[in-house]
Chain A
Amino acid sequence: MIRLDRLTKVFDTPSGPVVAVNEVSFELPAGEICVLLGPSGCGKTTTMRMINRLIEPTGGTVFIDGRDTRAVDPIRLRRSIGYVIQQIGLFPNKTVAENICVVPDLLGWDRRKSRARAAELLELVAMEPAVFMDRYPKELSGGQQQRVGVIRALAADPPVLLMDEPFGAIDPINREAIQDEFLRMQAALRKTVIFVSHDLDEAVKMADRVAIFRAGRLEQFATPDQLLANPATPFIETFLGTDRTLKRLRLVRIADVPLGRPGTVRPDDPVGRARELMQASGCPAVLVVDADGQPGAMVSGSRAGAVRGGTCGDCAEPIRATIPLTADLRSAVTLMFAHDMPLLPCVDAEGRIQGALTYAGIIRGLSARGAAA
C-alpha cells in the first residue's frame, strides 16, 4: 500500500521558487496499478521520484505499507523498490544476466540464486535464457531491451514498482504486446505499481486507478471507468478528448451490461410474427431457429419492415458473428459496425446464446455505470 500525504516539491531556480508538486495526496491499495497521467511538466515524474527519494520532498510524507519513507535509508529504500525508466538504462558494459542481477548483487545474494532468478524472469517474458543470459544490451532489439528493463526491476521481487513511461520509446505494435505481457505478469505477481504516462489509452488499459495531474496539482484520482464517465473538471474533460465514451467501451465487459432477450421464430412463420416479437421484446431483430431449436439466422427490423407478406425464412440473414460474454464492449461494437448487425448474439463458454447486445442496451449499460460511479 502506498499513501501520499500532502506531498510537495518546490524547486529553487534562478528565477525564483517553482512549485512542481503541490500538496498531492492519494492512497493506492496493495496490488494495484496507479497511472500518473498528465501533460509534460505537470509534476507526475517528480511525484514518482519522491516515492523512492531520488528527489527529496519539500513537504509532506510518503508511506509505503504504513512506514514513513523518511525513516528508511534512501539507498535501502531504493533497493526495495523496482525502478524502470523510459530510456531503459540497461548498462551496456554488463551482460543481460548481470543487468537483471544488479539489485540482487547489491543485496549480496548468492550468485547461483540470482542467476537462477534471472533465467526464471527471462522465461517469464519468453526470452530463452540459454540464448540471452550472456548477450550484451546492444545485441538485443528495442523490444527485448525493454523487457529486460522491466524484469530487471522485478529481480529482487520488490513489492512496489515505479515505472517512468516504461513503454514510451517502443513502436505501437510492440508496445501493445509488452503491455499485455506486463498485465499478464501483474495478474500473477500483484505488485503495487506507480506508472507514469502521458498516453491516455495506455492509462485506460493499464490502470486500476488513474491520477490526473495538472500544474503540480492532483486533479482527479479515480478508476479509469469513473474518470471517463465523470471527469471532475473541464480541464480533464478536454484532456480526455471528445471520444472518451468510446474509450470506456474497452473497460466494460459484455456480462456487465443488460442483454436483450430477442424472440425466436421458425423459418415458415409469417413476417408479421417477427414484427410482433420485436415490439414485445424491445429488440431490433429476432432470431430464426431451425428444427433443432438452434439459431442460425436473424431477421432485422429494417428487413422485416421492407416486406409486406412472406415468411421469416425469406428475409432472414445469416448470423455473421457472435461474441463471448467475457469480451469487452469495444470488440462487440467493432463486430456490430463491421457486419451491420443491429443485434449481436452473446455466447457463454459452451457456445450457447445467453442474450443479445443491442445499441440501446450498450447506451443504457454505460449510463447506469456512469451514474453508479
Chain B
Amino acid sequence: MSDVGKAWRAAPLAGGQPLPGGRPLPVPGIAALLWLLLAAAAVLWGLSSDMPAEILSYQEDIVFLGLQHIELVAWAGGLAILTGVPAGAVLSRPAFRRSAELILQVFNLGTTIPTLAVLALCMTVLGIGTVPSVFGLWAATLLPIVRNTYAGLRNVPTPLIEAARGMGMTPAQVFWRVELPNALFVIFGGIRTALSICVGTAPLAFLIGAGGLGELIFTGIALNDLPMMLAGAIPTALLAVLTDFVVGRLQVHLVPRGINPLR
C-alpha cells in the first residue's frame, strides 16, 4: 500500500463521516516556509551530486511508463466514478434507508483488504495484465466515491426537498435539480480523495504485469538502484499532487457558487 493510501486509511473515515473537501494546511505561512526549505535543500543536493542527471537518463522510460500509469488511473478512476456515484445515489434513496449502511460495509471490503491482496486475488481469477489491474484499482478507489455520494445526498436538508415537492417537482426533478446539485461539493470531495489514492496505488499494478511507473520503482528496489527507483517514485508523487490539484480546480469551478465554500 502506498503512502497516500496509508494516510487515507489512518484518517477517521470508515466511521461514516463524509470525506473532507481537501483544504491545504490551516497555517499557510508555515507550510510555505517548509516547502521553501525543502526546495532549497533539493537544489543544493542536486548541484552537489550527479543524481539528477542519472534520474533524467530514464526520461524515455518515465514518459512511456507515466502515460501507461495515467491510462491505468483513468480507466480505474473513471469506472469508479461511473459506478460509485450511481451506487451512492441509489443507496441514498428512501427504499435503502435501512440496508444502506450494511451495503456500504461491502464496499468497505474493497479498501479494507490490502490492495496488494486484491490484485493477487484478481490475478488468480483474471490472469495478468491491464484488466485485472484496473479491476483491483477500481475496487480500491470505489469506497470514498460511494460513501461521499451517499453522505452528500443524505445530508441535503429535508426542507429543501419538502419545498421542491410542495412546488410541484416530480421525484426525478427533485433529484436532478435539488438533491444532486446540493450534494455536488461533497461528491467532488470523494472523487478527489479517490483519484489521489488511485494514482498512489497504481504502481502496485506492475506486480501483475500492467506496467506503469511501478516498473521503475520495483525494479529500482530489486536492483538496489536508487536513481531508477526515484525515477519512478518522484513522477508518481507529482502525478498524485497534480491529480488532486486538477480535481480541486474542477470542484471550485463546477460546483455552483451558492453551495461552494471555496468560492
CB distance from B90 to the nearest CB of A (A): 22
Residues of B within 8 A of A76 (CB): 168
Check B164–A79 contact: CB distance below 8 A. no
Check A75–B170 contact: CB distance below 8 A. yes
Most buried by A among B162, B170, B173, B182: B162
Partner of A89, one of B162, B173, B256: B162
A77 to B167 Cα, complex, angstroms: 9
Residues of B within 8 A of A91 (CB): 160, 163-164, 177-178, 181-182, 258
A218 within 8 A of B: no
CB distance from B204 to the nearest CB of A (A): 39
Check A78–B168 contact: CB distance below 8 A. yes
Check B159–A88 contact: CB distance below 8 A. yes
Check B258–A138 contact: CB distance below 8 A. yes
Check A54–B166 contact: CB distance below 8 A. yes
Partner of A85, one of B162, B170, B182, B257: B162
Check B164–A52 contact: CB distance below 8 A. no
In the complex, the number of residue pairs spanning A and B with C-beta atoms less than 8 Å apart equals: 74
Check B173–A106 contact: CB distance below 8 A. yes
A95 to B258 Cα, complex, angstroms: 7
Residues of A within 8 A of B160 (CB): 89, 91-92
CB distance from A156 to the nearest CB of B (A): 9
Q: Which of A233-258 contact B (CB under 8 A)?
A: none
CB distance from B157 to the nearest CB of A (A): 7
- A92/B167 contact (C-beta < 8 A), A87-B157, A106-B173 known: no
Check A103–B159 contact: CB distance below 8 A. no
Residues of A within 8 A of B178 (CB): 91, 93
Partner of A83, one of B167, B170, B184, B257: B167
- A78/B258 contact (C-beta < 8 A), A91-B182, A106-B173 known: no
The proximity string for A residues 117-138 relative to B, scoring 1 for CB distances below 8 Å and 0 otherwise, is 0000000000000000000111
B36 within 8 A of A: no
Check A78–B167 contact: CB distance below 8 A. yes
Check B168–A87 contact: CB distance below 8 A. no
Residues of A within 8 A of B65 (CB): none
Check B259–A89 contact: CB distance below 8 A. no
Check B256–A87 contact: CB distance below 8 A. no
Check A85–B168 contact: CB distance below 8 A. no
B169 within 8 A of A: yes
Residues of B within 8 A of A137 (CB): 258
A14 to B184 Cα, complex, angstroms: 36
Check B182–A93 contact: CB distance below 8 A. yes
Residues of A within 8 A of B253 (CB): none
A277 within 8 A of B: no
Check B258–A94 contact: CB distance below 8 A. yes
- A106/B182 contact (C-beta < 8 A), A85-B159, A85-B162, A89-B160 known: no
Check B258–A92 contact: CB distance below 8 A. yes
- A87/B167 contact (C-beta < 8 A), A92-B258, A93-B258, A106-B173 known: no
The proximity string for A residues 294-313 relative to B, scoring 1 for CB distances below 8 Å and 0 otherwise, is 00000000000000000000
Q: Which of A78-102 contact B (CB under 8 A)?
A: 78-80, 83, 85-95, 102
User: Which residue in chain A gives the minimum CB-CB distance to B165?
Assistant: A54
Check A79–B166 contact: CB distance below 8 A. no
Residues of B within 8 A of A102 (CB): 164, 167, 169
Residues of A within 8 A of B164 (CB): 89, 91, 102
Partner of B259, one of A77, A92, A103: A92
CB distance from A83 to the nearest CB of B (A): 4
- List 16 extra interface pairs beyond A94-B258, A152-B167, CB under 8 A: A54-B162, A54-B166, A75-B170, A77-B168, A78-B165, A79-B167, A79-B168, A80-B168, A86-B159, A90-B163, A91-B178, A92-B258, A106-B168, A106-B173, A136-B256, A153-B167
Please list the 3 inter-chain residue pairs (A to B) with the smallest Cβ-Cβ separation, ordered nearest first: A89-B163, A136-B258, A79-B168
